Chains A and B, each alone.
Chain A
Amino acid sequence: MLISLRNDHKEHLNLLTTQSVQVLIDFCKLAIDFLQNGPNLKLYTTAAEKLSVDLDAVQNCIYGLVNLLLLSCKYKLSEADFRDSILTLGFSSEQQTILHKFYESKKTEVARIITKLSVSEPHYDDLEWRFEVQVSSRALLHQVVPLMTLDLSLKTMKDDGSGYEKEHLLLQTDVNNLLHITQELEKALIESRSRHSRKIQRALNS
């Protein structure tokens, strides 16, 4: 699929279409540096002086490159799609190759990060179980109660996207309920492999 950029976005990138290949490479490096370390006004000012343009123009250019990267990752563009999308911006074939290399180098990392930014909910992490028998308590001295103790660990993405917050839930159940929930969850797995589910999956992936 093709993405179309907003007009102001196109204008920002316009600056690069007239530049040499080396300048484009440098700007891509600046964009990568921006992703990792944030804006570096000193470098941008030097670049602005060398090209005899405003500092603003240089900054907007860098932001434009980063935004192009983000949009491409969001829509998971293939090489052909990416090239077609930037074709309309007026980049030469060589420049397209460079931009594509820029996209490829950062694609997986950015894609991974933005999936983490979506709705965060407790996600299954691990389950540990322990079988025990309660033999006595303060209230009743002679007992035989078989129990299964479970340690369910769930991870939730932290708000700033920096990592997972893990919580451990201690739960218990008896043998009957254990069997019941195991059978229910197995039914869920089987249902997800049924014809109906497979049809939907195919429809979504096409």
Chain B
Amino acid sequence: MSNTNEMKFDENIKKSLNLANNATAVTDATFKGLLENCFSVLTGLPEPHNVTNLYNSKPDLVKELYAALLSITAEFVRSGQKSDSIRDFLNKCGYNEAKISFYTDLYDRNREEIEGSLINVGSHLPHITDVTWKIDYIIKSSCVDASEGPLFRIGLQTEKYDSEIGGKKVELVNFTCDSQELQDLVYKLKDAVRHCQRIGSEH
């Protein structure tokens, strides 16, 4: 697939990436360790390598490289790059074949998972995941001595990503309706379902 997205990277990032070519600052083992940490973090898992162990003698250079690797990897996934365009890009950064292969290998293995993490970034409406219902019959009330019913108590369970706690927040939306209103609600929902089924079967 031809990629029409031209990735524009800051010159500084390219300079930082170039540090990987500096064998005294960044050994092969360090580079591999950094990449493994990078892909791990972007998929939401903890870093497998203790970062201080990777520092060697030049911690600031290693940190700079790490930051640059994280940036470009996120950008690659974001714009949906394939291995070929990545290979070209890393070539221009002066990486040798070994480094490029290692990177593209990790990229192909982890791309889908990183896409999954990125898709959740952003604000969404509360998402309905479940519904509870119960049927009540009113025998009496303090105002009217008459029975009423059936009365349906519906609870819609919704999930919403809460950035404060960094996870899902479950909320219940409760409301009541009588038979006629529930019929109206179910009719409208079935209409929506029919629409989805029609779209799905149109191929």
Taking Cβ atoms with an 8 Å cutoff, the residues of A that contact B are 73-76, 111, 114-115, 117-119, 121-124, 127-129, 131, 137-143, 145-146, 148-150, 152, 154, 169-175, 177-182, 184-186, 188-189, 191-192, 197, 200-201, 204-205
Residues of A within 8 A of B182 (CB): 124, 185, 188-189
A172 touching B77, Cβ below 8 Å: no
Task: Given A137-B121, A149-B125, answer yes or no on A76-B130 (Cβ-Cβ < 8 Å).
Answer: no
A204 touching B185, Cβ below 8 Å: no
Closest chain-B Cβ to A201's Cβ sits at a distance in Å of 7
B interface residue count range (under 10 / 10 to 19 / 20 to 34 / 35 or more) = 35 or more
Residues of A within 8 A of B80 (CB): 141-142
A173 touching B127, Cβ below 8 Å: yes
A201 touching B149, Cβ below 8 Å: yes
B139 touching A204, Cβ below 8 Å: yes
B145 at the interface (CB under 8 A from A): yes
Main secondary structure of the interface of A (DSSP, over half): mixed
- Pick from A76, A121, A128, A188 the residue with the most CB of B within 10 Å: A188
Taking Cβ atoms with an 8 Å cutoff, the residues of B that contact A are 5, 77-80, 115, 118-119, 121-122, 124-131, 133, 135, 137, 139, 141-147, 149-150, 152, 154, 156, 158, 173-177, 179, 181-186, 188-193, 195-196, 199-200
Q: Which residue of B79, B141, B146 is within 8 Å of A141 (Cβ)?
A: B79
Residues of B within 8 A of A119 (CB): 141
Residues of A within 8 A of B141 (CB): 118-119
B188 — nearest CB in chain A belongs to which residue? A127
Residues of A within 8 A of B150 (CB): 192, 197, 201
A181 touching B125, Cβ below 8 Å: no
A122 touching B126, Cβ below 8 Å: no
